[in-house]
Structure 1
Amino acid sequence: MIPYLQERFHSARWEMELFWLPKRIRNKGQEEPVFRTFDWREFGESLIVQKYIQTYMDYIWWARLRIHKPYDLIHAHHPIAGMAMKTVFPDVPLVQTVHSSYERELILNGRIQENGLEHRFLTSLYRELEVVSEQVLTVSRSFAHYMAPYVQEPERIGVIYNGFDEKRFKPVPHENIVPQLITVCRLVPAKGLDTLLYACAELKRKGYDYVLHIIGDGPCREELEHLAKELDIYQETIFYGYTLHPEEFMPFFDIFVLPSRAEAFGSVFAEAALSCLALIGSDVGGIAEQIEDGVNGLLVPPGDAAALSIALEKVISDPLFRYELARSAWDKAKNHYSLSKSVNELKKLYLKHGATL
């Protein structure tokens, strides 16, 4: 999303540069980090925490090496990047967008324990961000609510939804005899694809024809392929692996489905809506803010394969209902998640915090 935002700002005569840490920059930083609200060394025995801290130090090293001119404002899209830039440029206003909960994803993916060292370290970052930032933003009301217990003034957390360039999405009139289901995500436990495979197995048991297209890669791919074979739906399921621009062929499918166990926003739902697909998702986080159940998509409880199968059955068996959901999803996405809307909201925020035209 960020490069598309940059294009819009350049056209409006704003000077904006993107800065990030290249993959080749590892273990260069040596400057000891100092946080204002907690002592990171309490969590320092964790290898995951050590990795975050080294990334923080590398960002500081790289920023001091590469950035030599002043800026009116910094807008960071990762907590580590934002805090590091504030260390290097303490007098420059910082706007920090938190796009997702790294700790929740790590817990759901079995990488860390709830209330363990890593969990406590990562949630401590929210309070630190509140102190060093002029404005903390997130991408959904539900995620702002999630962050509230970890900050002192939750009412100051702003919400600006992710914006998408609608010109990239071109709905295509088509008629698939066999309904085509698509999901796009990283193949990790948090995305709930095991639930989707069980739901699809139930569809097949009831005699429904369909094809499930899974776009994405990740550590669970082999396990999911094995589960598809075990459930006797491997012939109906296509694993594509990672694909750079799925929006280019997404409009040729019929139904987008992703039963995530947690989702701060769920950008891929907005992308599927702009492609004019019927949406089915879990009743969690930002997904539930995008989908009004029965109006522009269907919501199901996370982890409930039976409910997901029933929802899929509804849209597979009733093409007219499926079309109405897709059209409503397209209308809402164009009105609420357009790139122009996000850019306009950011312009106001930048001017408020000291950016100059």
Structure 2
Amino acid sequence: MDSSPTPDYFALAQGDAAPQHGPRPLPLFLNILWRETEDDAELRRRAFTGLRKYQHAARPPAPPAARCVATAGAARLLQHGAANDRNPVVFVPSLINPPQVLDLSEGRSMLRHMAAAGHDAYLVDWGTPAPQDAQLGLDGHVTERLLPLLAALPRPPILVGYCLGGSLTLAAAALHRVPAVATIAAPWRFDAFPTADLDLIGGLWRGAKPMCQRIGYVPMEVLQSGFWAMDPARTIRKYAAFADADAGSDAERAFLAVEDWANGGAPLTYAAGRDLFDGLYSRNLSGTGRWQVGGQTVDPAALACPTLSIVSTSDRIVPAAAGPRLREERSLSLGHVGMVVGGRARETLWEPLSHWLFTQGG
């Protein structure tokens, strides 16, 4: 029998400082960790060690803030490049998790790469919804937030949307003439998601919907629990692997930046959550040509401008088959987040996308 002392797992999980640096919701994470390591004491030990290391690790200073050039409600338009005689390029992130995934750190920033390459690049920050925004649906995020930001620019911009932001850019392009649109890992054909994932997401939403309706928003913790449930084993393994990362290494810095991003973010408005889960995930409105925004059906095939869809064959969050059918399509083999911030993002996504933008006048 192993006579080594039993670790104080509660102390490891809670720590004695920096409780804000922890997976949200922490109790659910601990439940998943315990369940996934039930038959592997060593994996459990390493996962708890990685968790405490994540909670206590020193964070580098955030990159310098970009300049805000326009606001619409809580949303802001942040300029990363310098104005020039080319078309502006506006990057639109998902409503889920903060926009910083596109500007994660000095060395892992698609926006800073695009600015350095000569693009007049902008990033949409959706901000934190106010209580009176409870009925602001996905359509309102396009018509009352995104379109006013675009109108503040001196000329129509090229749009680049990531994840759900890609779906919203297609809606914006249907209402506001733009030179070109590119989407990255954008969900569109929801019937292409695995049935098990649709059932999982549907069940989580049915359970959370009454509470979300009462409070007027969808807490980030509800969304995070869905992501974890899709691949709980991977969630725990990455924390176990982090236990072995060298202090101050690029691997440690990358893990901290990505996990802090994944565990942060404002809630969704209730109406946006309802539109997303009841309208898109459940009824596949976009994939069946029935999604309307601003009184107009959003049909990517009807867009008059050049369009590009970039998907990944190893994306666990948005399967490649779920992407929109656009005039050009390119496929990668990196994960949903890794494709935009991973070690190969520059060569596989940033540089090819930059070249495409230049060919479109951006």
| Superposition TM-score, scaled by structure 1 size | 0.29
With CA pairs under 8 Å and 6+ residues apart, which has the higher RCO, 1 or 2?
A: 2
Q: Which has the larger radius of gyration?
A: 1
